[in-house]
A = this chain, B = another copy of it.
Amino acid sequence: MKIGIVNASSRFNRERAEAVEAWFATNIPDGSVKVVFHPATFGKHGHFGGDDASRAAAFVEYANDPRLDAVWFARGGYGSCRIAEAVLPRLGPVARKKKYLGYSDAGSILALLYKAGFPNVAHGPMASDAVRNDATAWRVVNWLRSGDSRSLEPSLADDPRPAVAFNLSILDALVGTALEPDLSGHVLMLEDVSEPLYRFDRMMFHLTGQASIRRVAGIRLGRVSDIAYNEPDFGLTPEEIVRYWCQRSGIPYLGAADIGHDRENKVVPFGAR
């Protein structure tokens, strides 16, 4: 198996890439799973890991490359919403068969691929996460290689409904745009990081205020980590906030999801299983 790594978002550094390559060389010495970084991964253009055209071209090239079995996002940050629409019409039949794995900012591209009917799109750890923790890396390798069910978010084992997972900030910023997939009947898992709770509350107001999102089967809440300071104390926990907006909007609250901006982040394949 050969995994192509691309960067659709913020700048990515070579040292982290070398650590990813070293992890695979050390842990899979027979070379049965190989990773390759697109050279454009290390581009720099203001905030971004290369300008929009370069990031889009790199993604398209790897997605269409028949020698690669999967496209793995290098990191998050910000930027994939800028290129998602430009990328889609350039993807051929080879791209459609491939696995795509990432989360956080990569959710903008994952959303559009899922909307376009790509069957193997998943939320899960990115290359930059995997090398920080062996279990995280094996979770990815095992899912990409065989769809290993031990890599999956555990509630998926008991709930046959189609599912998706998103960073709240990312999904909240794509509802109503051309990137929004139809999530009717889906279990929607949400996680978030580095937001003060007033923003978290406002995003839940906005998200659950969408007619489209009110058609989901329910919401599960992943981890909300590294919460930024709110002055004064907000007065509600993230779970209380999600329960409030679910109740108010008529969306079932389904409990916790084992996803988040951390090493325990599990794989959530988009759609039916």
CB-defined contacts of A179 to chain B, threshold 8 Å: 209
A205 within 8 A of B: yes
How many angstroms from the CA of A174 to the CA of B209 in the assembled complex?
A: 8
Distance from A116 Cβ to chain B, minimum over Cβ atoms (Å): 16
Range for the number of chain A residues in contact with chain B: 20 to 34
Is A173 in contact with B236, judged by CB distance below 8 angstroms?
A: no
Residue A197 is within 8 A (CB to CB) of chain B in the complex: yes
A138 CB within 8 Å of chain B: no
In the complex, residue of chain B having the shortest beta-carbon distance to the beta carbon of A84: B205
Is A215 on the interface with B (CB-CB < 8 A)? Answer: no
Q: How often does this chain occur in the complex, in copies? A: 2
On whether the beta carbons of B235 and A46 are closer than 8 Å, the reply is yes
A22 to chain B, nearest CB (A): 26
| Contact, CB under 8 Å: B47 / A78 | no
List 10 tightest A-B contacts by C-beta distance, closest first. Answer: A46-B235, A177-B209, A78-B198, A173-B206, A176-B176, A47-B234, A176-B210, A81-B205, A173-B202, A46-B234
24 contacts between A and B (CB under 8 A): A11-B232, A46-B232, A46-B234, A46-B235, A47-B198, A47-B230, A47-B233, A47-B235, A77-B198, A78-B198, A78-B201, A78-B202, A81-B202, A82-B201, A173-B203, A173-B205, A173-B206, A174-B209, A176-B210, A176-B211, A176-B212, A177-B206, A177-B209, A179-B209
